[in-house]
């Protein structure tokens, strides 16, 4: 029995390579729509008082989030959850920490309507922007029925789905360039797998494809009272379950966790090991894992430089 | 024609409905197969779920299962969007909604299963590492049992949990071991419950049933489509048969018509049709041959171009009145052909009606009778000539007769006058002699005057019928030629009943004169001077006919020529004597003017105990005018 199990696990370990896949460098999206969405993404008029744009909290020049614990919305209102990165969000099984939006389209209207974020509404935006010559012209050009709520949402989500960060050093390594990572980093990756981080952070987005409980082996007490998935499903079993976040560009998206409780990667990794894996890791191991995590910074999305 | 149009209309509409139905059925089938594909995709993806469930706890790339989840969600929302089970298959709607619901539940549980398996995987792996570090062998059993959980369903988790809880830890490693053992037991219980939750859904069964029912439905609707298609095809082919039937009928009619056309084209009659306004629409070949016109000359022209002007205005008025009243007209045109010659055309003109009884055309069928007309004309001229000739002969005869009859009285007058002169000169003229001589002159003059009256009657060319007494007529004849009988010592024996005949008396006189002359000529020719010579005349009535029999004893007519004696210019006499006209004229007069008959035969008879043979002419004339008109 034991031998059989060992054989099986070692056999499965051989297939570990396939647990994480590199981002394809050419993804399909509608450039016209995405460019229109880009314009909207940076347009502060999408907020109630013209102070906040999508880009205010999802700084595309800086990891796709705002590096604050909690984002600041209209009227300087503070949110109660850490902004996740907008990068590679197309690969997530759902959007938001609690996964309440099944896709990017559903996600778009979330922050717009949230009173502590943009505090506006799609109707209001349409009213505000329908006389804008640029939008009027461009929407008429790209969409059959011009500037509508649906098309607005569609354009923004199209832009967001174009925000991928391919060709991180780790991706290059996965693609076969063994020199792309240093020995420590490779060792970090090995530890990442061995310790079981990869059980939840796998797939193309190194996370983002399942919900997991925060505090499996040790109860996690958060300063914020967010119960994650439970807020959506109202299923007791879903309490404290959150969408496993992507680890891509993790180096640029501090602070970490939904409650922004980890300010740096060291803290984040050690918390994860303690609460999720139930193990006390030594500092060296953490160091190496952090080194590995830093190889996940991808290239700037091409769409940002397109006009 | 209308029927054919209807058939064609039906035919075309059937084809349209066939195309429509085929197209519609195609869409239906297409939709069906699309749905079938979706369903089989749901089934196969569901199997992937089951494989995922049943696979051992290990590392996973959850993207793989997530892809399937996305795909299922996508298909389900597509099916909902298509409204297929709202419109096409309402009977399947509740089943589909159930499946949709089951999938939602299953997916939700699989999401949880992902988390659970990830947790289990990590603890399983880590507990092995920890176990290696443990010295205390009390954990052996619990470790093997925990490790074997996955493969041995009989292990009682509750019991294990109790065992684990009962352990007292000595160091940190043991503590970690127990934490993970507890974790494994807790999550494994969860894991099994989740699996069970999914199994309870029995989505597989439901899906298989659904697929089966759906495929069964296909048989029903394919059968429906087949029925519709077949009925259309049957209708189509039957209308095709009908069409062919009418087509052959029409073709047959065409052949018939063509036959008639051929007959008309090649007819010896002149055939022409005109429209209502008498504009020529058609002429046959014989028309062209006969008139010398070309088709181009006449088609579209008025029929009046054929007029010669010899038919009266009344003639045409009557013609138009007849044909425009819808009746057939018969008559004889005198038309002019292209080179100006006259053409006699016996013609019938029939109006041709349409279905409503309105005249649309006229059909003229003509027979060219120009030749016959000319022959008739020639005959008439000839007859006229003959009659003139016979008149001349008669005149000659009369003059002869006058000369003969006047010679005697004239010489008597002359003798009396010269006797008176001589007696006067010798002065021997006594009163007795004077009166005797004067009386003789006066008597003879009277006689002359009387004979002139007779001649006058003969030459009176009165053309109006009169009622005359046959006995008087015979007397007149005798006045004319009676002297000949005396000269030739012919005994004339007559037995005449007093009868009246209506007609031209002088013509009958002429006929009788002819017959008597012939008899006398025959007597002179065939009998000796000393022979007794007879001419018999019997007149009596018989069955409303007047019968006149003239008989002689001149031995009869040669049987070889007896049939030809009434033909013109036939004569047995010497050229100087006969012209061959007399009997012909007699025949013509009796048959055409008196509507009677004249026959001849040789007759042998007894007279005063002696046997004689001679020619017997029998003239039979109807006594009443009515009979003659028959």
CA dihedral for A177, A179, A181, A186, sign (positive or negative): positive
Q: B76 contacts in A (CB within 8 Å)?
A: none
- For residues A16 and A11, give the distance between their C-alpha atoms in angstroms, rounded to a whole number: 9
Q: Say how far apart CA B283 and CA B293 lie, in whole Å.
A: 10
Helices and strands (H and E) in chain A: how many: 13, 2
Q: Can you give the pLDDT at residue A185? A: 94
Give CA–CA dist A273/A60, Å, rounded. 30
**Rounded to the nearest 5°, which phi and psi values hold at B467?**
-90, 120
Looking at residue B398, its pLDDT comes to 73
Check residue B579 and give its pLDDT: 64
With an 8 Å Cβ cutoff, are A202 and B122 in contact? no
In this complex, the residue of B59, B114, B126 whose CB is nearest that of residue A198 is B59
Q: Decide if B373 touches A, using CB distance below 8 A.
A: no
Q: How far apart are CA B579 and CA B570, in angstroms?
A: 8
Cβ contact, residue pair B59, A202, below 8 Å? yes
Nearest neighbour of A212 by CB, restricted to B56, B115, B151? B115
* Spatial contact of A160 and A33, defined as CB atoms under 8 Å apart: no
A200 to chain B: nearest residue by CA? Answer: B118
Sign of CA pseudo-dihedral A167, A170, A174, A180: positive
Residue by residue, pLDDT tens for chain A (307 residues) are 445 555 555 454 444 447 899 998 888 999 999 999 999 999 999 998 899 999 999 999 888 888 888 988 888 888 888 999 999 999 999 999 999 998 999 999 889 888 888 989 999 999 998 889 999 999 999 999 988 999 999 999 999 999 999 999 999 999 999 999 999 999 999 999 999 999 999 999 999 999 999 999 999 988 888 899 999 999 998 999 999 999 999 999 989 999 999 999 999 999 999 999 988 878 999 999 999 999 999 999 999 988 8
What are A228's strand-pairing partners? Answer: A241
CA distance B155 to chain A (A): 15
Cα nearest neighbour of A103 on chain B: B70
Q: Do A204 and B63 touch (CB under 8 A)?
A: yes
Contacts of A19 in chain B (CB under 8 A): 59-61
What are the structure tokens assigned to B216, written together?
């069964």
Partners of A196 on chain B (C-beta within 8 Å) are 121-122, 125-126
Q: Which residue of B has its CA nearest to A277?
A: B122
d(CA B515, CA B537): 11
Query: Strands B359-368, B342-353: parallel, antiparallel or unpaired by DSSP?
Result: antiparallel
Contacts of A7 (CB under 8 A, 6+ apart): none
Predicted confidence at residue B308, as pLDDT, reads 85
Contact residues, chain B, for A247 at CB < 8 Å? none
CB contact under 8 A, B176 and A241: no
Answer yes or no: are the C-beta atoms of A210 and A222 closer than 8 Å.
no
pLDDT of residue A7: 53
Encode pLDDT of B365-388 as tens digits: 988 888 888 888 888 888 788 777
Say which residues have a Cβ less than 8 Å from residue A307's Cβ, sequence separation at least 6: A35
Q: What share of chain A is helix, strand, coil (3-state, %, to 5)?
A: 50, 5, 50
Nearest CB to A12 within list B58, B114, B151: B58
The span from the CA of B518 to the CA of B579, in Å, is 12
Per-residue confidence (pLDDT) for residue B624, from 0 to 100:
67
Residues of B in contact with A199 (CB under 8 A): 59-60, 118-119, 121-122
Please spell the DSSP secondary structure of B62-119, one letter per residue.
HHHHHHHHHHHHHHHHHHHHHTHHHHT-GGGHHHHHHHHHHHHHHHHHHHHHHHHHHH
Q: Look at residues A165, A170, A208, A168 and name the one whose alpha carbon lies nearest to residue A303.
A: A165
Can you list the residues of chain B whose pLDDT is less than 50?
A: 627-630
Instruction: Return the ∠ at Cα A66 (arms to A60 and A67), rounded to 5°.
Output: 125
Dihedral sign for Cα atoms in the order A90, A92, A97, A101: positive
**Cβ of A198 and B66 within 8 Å?**
no
* Euclidean distance between CA atoms B66 and A203, whole angstroms: 10
Q: What is the ipTM of this complex?
A: 0.88
Q: Which tens digits make up the pLDDT trace of A95-141?
A: 999 999 989 999 998 898 888 889 899 999 999 988 899 999 999 99
Q: Nearest CA to CA, how far is A295 from chain B (Å)?
A: 20
CA A271 – CA A262 distance, rounded (Å):
8
**Among all residues of A, which ones are annotated catalytic?**
117
Q: Tell me the nearest-neighbour CA distance from B89 into chain A, angstroms.
A: 29
Per DSSP, the three-state class of A165 is: coil
- All residues at 6 or more sequence positions from A219 whose CB lies less than 8 Å from its CB, including other chains: none
């Amino acid at each position: 029995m034991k031998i059989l199990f060992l054989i099986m696990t070692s056999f499965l370990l051989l297939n570990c390579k396939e647990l994480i896949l590199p981002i394809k460098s050419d993804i399909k999206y509608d450039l016209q729509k995405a460019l229109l969405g880009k314009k909207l993404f940076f347009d502060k008029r999408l907020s109630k008082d013209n102070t906040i744009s999508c880009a205010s909290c999802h700084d595309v020049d800086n990891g796709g989030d705002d590096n604050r614990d909690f984002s600041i919305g209209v009227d300087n209102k503070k949110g109660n959850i850490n902004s996740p990165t907008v990068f590679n969000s197309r690969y997530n099984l759902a959007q938001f920490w609690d996964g309440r939006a099944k896709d990017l389209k559903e996600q778009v209207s979330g922050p717009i309507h949230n009173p502590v974020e943009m505090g506006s509404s799609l109707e209001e935006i349409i009213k505000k922007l329908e006389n804008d010559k640029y939008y009027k012209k461009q929407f008429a050009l790209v969409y059959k029925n011009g500037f509508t709520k649906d098309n607005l949402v569609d354009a923004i989500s199209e832009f967001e789905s174009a925000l991928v960060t391919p060709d991180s050093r780790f991706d290059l390594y996965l693609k076969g360039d063994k020199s792309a990572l240093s020995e420590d980093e490779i060792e970090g990756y090995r530890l990442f797998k061995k310790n079981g981080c990869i059980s939840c952070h796998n797939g193309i987005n190194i996370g983002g494809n399942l919900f997991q409980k925060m505090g499996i082996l040790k109860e996690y007490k958060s300063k914020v009272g967010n119960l994650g998935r439970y807020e959506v499903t109202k299923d007791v079993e879903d309490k404290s379950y959150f969408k496993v976040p992507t680890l891509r560009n993790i180096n640029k998206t501090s602070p970490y966790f939904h409650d922004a409780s980890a300010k740096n990667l060291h803290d984040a990794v050690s918390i994860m090991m303690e609460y999720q894996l139930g193990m006390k890791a030594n500092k060296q191991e953490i160091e190496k894992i952090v080194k590995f995590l830093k190889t996940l910074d991808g290239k700037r999305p091409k769409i940002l430089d397109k006009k | 024609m209308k029927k054919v149009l209807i058939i064609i209309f039906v035919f075309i509409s059937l084809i349209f409905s066939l195309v429509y139905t085929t197209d519609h059925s195609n869409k239906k089938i297409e939709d069906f197969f699309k749905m079938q594909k979706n369903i089989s995709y749901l089934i196969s993806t569901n199997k992937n779920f089951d494989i995922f469930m049943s696979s051992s706890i290990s590392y996973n790339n959850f993207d793989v299962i997530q892809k399937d989840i996305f795909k299922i969600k996508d298909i389900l929302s597509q099916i909902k969007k298509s409204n297929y089970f709202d419109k096409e298959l309402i009977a399947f709607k509740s089943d589909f909604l159930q499946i949709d619901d089951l999938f939602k539940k299953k997916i939700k549980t699989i999401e949880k299963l992902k988390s659970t398996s990830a947790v289990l995987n990590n603890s399983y792996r880590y507990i092995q590492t920890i176990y290696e570090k443990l010295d205390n062998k009390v954990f052996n059993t619990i470790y093997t049992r925990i490790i074997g959980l996955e493969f041995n369903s009989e292990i009682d988790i509750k019991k294990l949990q109790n065992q684990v809880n009962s352990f007292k830890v000595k160091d940190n490693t043991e503590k970690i071991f127990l934490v993970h053992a507890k974790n494994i037991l807790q999550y494994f219980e969860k894991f099994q419950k989740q699996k069970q939750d999914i199994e309870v859904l029995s989505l597989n069964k439901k899906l298989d049933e659904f697929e089966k029912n759906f495929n069964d439905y296909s048989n029903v609707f394919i059968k429906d489509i087949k029925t519709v298609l077949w009925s259309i095809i049957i209708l189509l082919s039957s209308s095709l048969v009908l069409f062919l039937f009418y087509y052959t009928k029409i073709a047959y009619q065409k052949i018939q018509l063509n036959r008639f056309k051929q007959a008309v084209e090649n007819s010896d009659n002149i055939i022409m049709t005109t429209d209502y306004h008498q504009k020529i629409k058609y002429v046959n070949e014989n028309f062209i041959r006969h008139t010398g016109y070309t088709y181009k000359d006449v088609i579209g022209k008025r029929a009046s171009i054929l007029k010669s002007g010899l038919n009266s205005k009344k003639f045409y008025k009557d013609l138009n009145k007849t044909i425009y009243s819808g009746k057939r007209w018969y008559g004889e045109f005198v038309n002019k052909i292209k080179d100006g010659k006259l053409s006699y055309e016996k013609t019938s003109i029939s109006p041709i009606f349409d279905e409503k009884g309105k005249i649309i055309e006229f059909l003229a069928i003509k027979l060219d009778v120009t030749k016959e007309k000319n022959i008739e004309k020639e005959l008439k001229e000839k007859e006229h000539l003959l009659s003139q000739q016979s008149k001349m002969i008669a005149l000659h005869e009369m003059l002869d007769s006058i000369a003969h009859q006047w010679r005697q009285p004239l010489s008597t007058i002359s003798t009396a006058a010269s006797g008176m002169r001589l007696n006067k000169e010798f002065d021997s003229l006594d009163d007795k002699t004077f009166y005797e001589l004067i009386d003789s002159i006066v008597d003879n003059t009277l006689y002359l005057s009387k004979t002139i009256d007779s001649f006058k009657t003969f030459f009176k060319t009165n053309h109006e019928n009169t009622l005359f007494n046959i006995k008087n007529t015979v007397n007149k004849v005798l006045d004319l030629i009676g002297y000949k009988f005396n000269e030739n010592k012919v005994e004339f024996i007559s037995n005449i009943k007093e009868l009246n005949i209506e007609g031209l008396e002088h013509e009958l006189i002429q006929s009788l004169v002819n017959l008597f002359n012939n008899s006398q000529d025959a007597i002179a020719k065939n009998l000796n001077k000393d022979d007794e010579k007879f001419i018999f005349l019997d007149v009596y009535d018989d069955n409303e006919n007047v019968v006149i029999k003239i008989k002689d004893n001149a031995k009869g007519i040669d049987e070889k020529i007896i049939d030809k004696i009434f033909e013109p210019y036939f004569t047995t006499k010497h050229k100087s004597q006969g012209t061959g006209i007399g009997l012909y004229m007699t025949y013509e007069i009796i048959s055409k003017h008196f509507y009677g008959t004249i026959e001849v035969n040789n007759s042998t008879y007894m007279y005063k105990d002696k046997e004689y043979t001679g020619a017997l002419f029998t003239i039979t004339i109807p006594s009443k005018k009515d009979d003659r008109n028959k």
